[in-house]
Amino acid sequence: MNNVLENGIQKYHLRTLKEISRPDPVDGEEQEPVINSPLHAIYFDNVTAEYAKNLERAKVPTSVDALYQHDNGDVYFVEFKSSKPEGKSKREELKLKAVEGVLTFMELAEVKRACIRKCVTFIVVFKDNNKNVETAKEQIRDKRQKRGRQLTSKGLELSRLKRVYFKDAGAMTNQEFDAYITEQGWTSMA
């Protein structure tokens, strides 16, 4: 896939994954980011808002938080959550973000859906509030050895998205995501 940064407005929305993953303040109090990665990606929520403004749309489409393009051309849509999304309405909200994000991306990047199915992965990253970090790291290593690099839906019912829209779709904890981006060789887009 062509470099998504060549398409204009995206290049003005580069942020670190740490900045992108920080939830909105609650009662005026800053929240901890879901991950602490210094890698840069496109803050796709802002791109989508600017896209809607340029089209003079009253309603801004929903979108994923981050868009990352790997050196190999693969694109990742990443949605950060401060906890594992529970319930049917939260799962439906995730699916809507994925689908509307794809539609916005297709128009901005001028790509067809077949291209999306070949090279775009959708990942939901949620904060694992497990305080025992060493135990969590051991659990992640054990899980990785058992399943390799496959994404799993972790009960979020993302498998249909994979079959219809994406090359792959799944969910992982913030610790698993840190390991995943290292394994996949992510580098900063800046």
Residue 45, pLDDT score: 92
Per-residue pLDDT reduced to its tens digit, 99-157: 999 999 988 888 888 889 999 999 999 998 765 445 545 555 555 554 444 566 566 67
Contact indicator for 73, 119 with CB cutoff of 8 Å? yes
Token pair recorded at residue 17: 């994954």
Per-residue pLDDT reduced to its tens digit, 82-99: 888 888 888 889 989 999
Q: What are the φ/ψ torsions at residue 68 (nearest 5 degrees)?
A: -125, 135
Q: What is the pTM of this model?
A: 0.83
Token pair recorded at residue 64: 């994923």
